[in-house]
């Protein structure tokens, strides 16, 4: 078995803000490691301290105590020019790149090696082309940054970080402005990059479901700064995932991997049978109507869902009654009437 290589490690790290005599601790006593070849997602509710941690790890913000080691060296001992060869940071803020072309922005990633006025070597050009290819944007090379969509610009910033050729890449909410297919694409791209180039990638995100699917490890930051780490599935099964996002009347559904409104608060509960896809979407539609659903019981109100050659049929049975509908819209309309009748 190959031994994991730790590229970034914190020891008894406390992060936060100091202003005059007041100190605001965001998170304390952190012992975290980022390993080569792994993509780690940093998740947590708003205000938990994800950006503070990212900025601290990237050396943009002083830590309150403890230390951060980058490839074995203390971050505080590294000169900015040396750090830039080891760690790159991609921020979400809109990039003010003026009238620069994609190629020019990606070329800036080589600055730690060439200096501001440095000439590009063949090796530099090779790294720039590889970065453009890895992010799927070589055809945008000559386009100006302001002519790109937010998603395309996000890829350019990732390409610039790749051109910087560091073993560690930190990204603050890299999927923030992207549509769903681009979010999925970005997460898979980052995961593949970590695997293929043996880089350590840490990204903060609010994409819980995508992080659960693609991250090798999660860092779950609770309100108050405590961090639970581990493989996503372990954190789901041991309850850490749910407790990091604990909110009144919300619960985490372990079978679908999604958060829902607490079933016990629903005025009407219905049992469902049918295949899993049909149940999944029916559940979603009914929960929006505040109708709870269960699949491992038969309630007074029961829906059997079947897919026939002419479409999907929802058969609703209660007492001696049977009703059949062919869309979730019609089902919701029927159930709304029943719900109003049973709600005191
Ligand atoms: N410069 C600052 N001085 C003092 N407190 C700050 C400063 N910047 C942020 N904070 C506070 O630190 C806490 C953590 O903020 P941070 O931006 O790190 O959270 P986050 O998890 O990234 O949030 P979000 O998901 O909303 O982006 C918040 O309470 C915030 O108000």
Give the bridge partners for 68, in sequence order: 10
Q: What is the mean pLDDT of the chain?
A: 89
Share of the chain above pLDDT 90, in %: 61
Spell out the SS3 assignment of 19-78. Answer: ECCEEEEEEEEECCEEECCCEEEEECCCCCCHHHHHHHHCCCCCCCEEEEEECCEEHHHC
182, pLDDT greater than 50: yes
CB atoms within 10 A of CB 177: 15
The answer on 309 and 210 residing in a single domain is: no
Query: Can you give the CATH number for the domain in which 139 is found?
Result: 3.40.50.300
The answer on 280 and 156 residing in a single domain is: no
Residue 44 counted as domain residue? yes
The answer on 22 and 88 residing in a single domain is: yes
Residue that has been written with the tokens 């980052």 in this structure: 190
The pLDDT value given to residue 94:
62
Residue 21 counted as domain residue? yes
1, pLDDT greater than 80: no
148-156: long-range contacts at Cβ-Cβ below 8 A with a sequence spacing of 24 or more? 148/102, 150/94, 150/177, 150/178, 151/177, 151/178, 151/179, 151/182, 153/94, 153/95, 154/178, 154/186, 155/186, 156/95, 156/102, 156/105, 156/106
Spacing, Cα 223 to ligand 1 middle (Å) = 11
Residue 253 counted as domain residue? no
Query: Can you give the CATH number for the domain in which 285 is found?
Result: 3.40.50.800
What domain range includes position 288?
A: 262-342
pTM, whole model, 2 decimals? 0.80
Q: Which of 51, 91, 207, 220 to mutate to test the pocket of ligand 1 (most atoms within 8 A of CB)?
A: 51
Residue 313 counted as domain residue? yes
The answer on 282 and 217 residing in a single domain is: no
The answer on 147 and 72 residing in a single domain is: yes
The answer on 226 and 100 residing in a single domain is: yes
Spacing, Cα 251 to ligand 1 middle (Å) = 25
Q: What confidence category does residue 75 fall into, taking pLDDT thresholds of 50, 70 and 90?
A: very high
What pLDDT digit, counting tens, does each position of 123-160 carry? Answer: 999 999 999 998 888 899 999 988 888 888 888 999 99
pLDDT (mean) for 249-268: 70
The pLDDT value given to residue 3:
61
The pLDDT value given to residue 265:
66
The answer on 131 and 228 residing in a single domain is: yes
The answer on 311 and 182 residing in a single domain is: no
CA separation for the pair 64, 316 (Å, rounded)? 61
The answer on 218 and 108 residing in a single domain is: yes
pLDDT (mean) for 12-17: 97
Q: Is the CB of 46 under 6 A from ligand 1?
A: yes
The pLDDT value given to residue 33:
97
The answer on 192 and 154 residing in a single domain is: yes
Q: Which two tokens stand for residue 77?
A: 């001992």
97, pLDDT greater than 70: no
The pLDDT value given to residue 95:
63
């Amino acid at each position: 078995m190959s031994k994991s290589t730790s590229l970034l490690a914190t020891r008894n790290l406390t992060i936060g803000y100091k202003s005059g005599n007041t100190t605001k601790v965001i998170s304390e006593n952190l012992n975290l490691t980022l390993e080569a070849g792994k993509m780690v997602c940093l998740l947590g509710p708003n205000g938990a301290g994800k950006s503070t941690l990212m900025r601290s790890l990237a050396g943009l913000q002083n830590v309150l105590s403890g230390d951060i080691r980058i490839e074995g060296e203390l971050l505080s001992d590294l000169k900015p020019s040396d750090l830039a060869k080891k760690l790159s940071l991609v921020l979400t803020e809109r990039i003010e790149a003026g009238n620069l072309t994609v190629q020019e922005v990606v070329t800036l990633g080589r600055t730690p090696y060439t200096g501001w006025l440095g000439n590009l070597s063949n090796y530099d050009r090779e790294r720039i082309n590889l970065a453009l290819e890895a992010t799927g944007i070589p055809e945008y090379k000559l386009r100006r940054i302001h002519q790109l969509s937010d998603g395309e610009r996000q890829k350019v910033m990732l390409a610039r970080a790749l051109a910087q050729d560091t073993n560690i890449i930190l990204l603050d909410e890299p999927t923030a402005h992207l549509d769903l297919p681009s979010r999925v694409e970005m997460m898979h791209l980052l995961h593949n990059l970590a695997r293929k180039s043996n880089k350590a990638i840490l990204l903060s995100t609010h994409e819980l479901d995508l992080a659960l699917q693609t991250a090798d490890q999660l860092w779950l930051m609770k309100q108050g700064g405590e961090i639970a780490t581990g493989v996503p599935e372990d954190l789901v099964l041991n309850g850490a995932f749910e407790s990091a996002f604990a909110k009144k009347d919300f619960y985490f559904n372990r079978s679908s991997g999604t958060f829902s409104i607490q079933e016990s608060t629903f005025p009407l509960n219905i049992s469902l049978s049918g295949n899993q896809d049909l149940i999944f979407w029916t559940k979603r539609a009914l929960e929006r109507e505040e109708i709870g659903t269960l699949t491992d019981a038969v309630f007074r109100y029961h829906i059997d869902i079947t897919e026939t050659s002419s479409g999907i049929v929802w058969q609703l049975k209660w007492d001696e009654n049977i009703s059949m509908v062919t869309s979730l819209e019609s089902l919701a309309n029927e159930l709304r009437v029943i719900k109003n009748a049973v709600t005191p």
